[in-house]
Structure 1
Amino acid sequence: MNKLLSCRHNMDTNRVEARFSDASAIAIDCIVIEDEYGNTPAQRAELDWLLYNKPLEYAQLVLSGKIAHYLSLGCEHGRPKDQV
């Protein structure tokens, strides 16, 4: 796989559209990712936070297969401040 250059979340299709240095592109279906990895409300909130705030990192984690490990770390970006 070539270098990931850019990503954007397409709200109409709920997909992250990624473009690579060789001019290829893919679309990551966010519903499938959430169904597979969002087992708890906190994990779903974290996936949403990544999707809206850092779509490039979201795509990198999904494509590298590291999304499950990332979520297992208990990240708190998606949690309201009073629940942290």
Structure 2
Amino acid sequence: MGSAHPDADIYPEATGPAAKIVAAHQKDEPITLYSGWFCPFVQRAWITLEEKNIPYKYVEINPYNKEPSSTREAWYRRWDVPKKTGPPSR
């Protein structure tokens, strides 16, 4: 087992009925939904977008994939917050 996280090798994309919805939302839109199809928190936002008929682009992201070439690196770097355990130094 070479992966650091047990879910790192999770199936990389949505399947079945979810895959049809993903395929229908690949063109550029004002809203981009970065999603791990397996995440219940993302699913809540996804259901809301669908129910309200809000146009969005779906981009599949595996949050456990740390490879530099992944799509995650292109957008996630600006949201990375340094992990510090103490108060800021003065």
Higher strand share: 1
TM-score (norm 2): 0.34
Which of the pair has more CA radius of gyration? 2
Higher helix share: 1
Could you say which structure has the greater relative contact order, defined with CA pairs below 8 angstroms and 6 or more residues apart? 2
TM-score (norm 1): 0.36
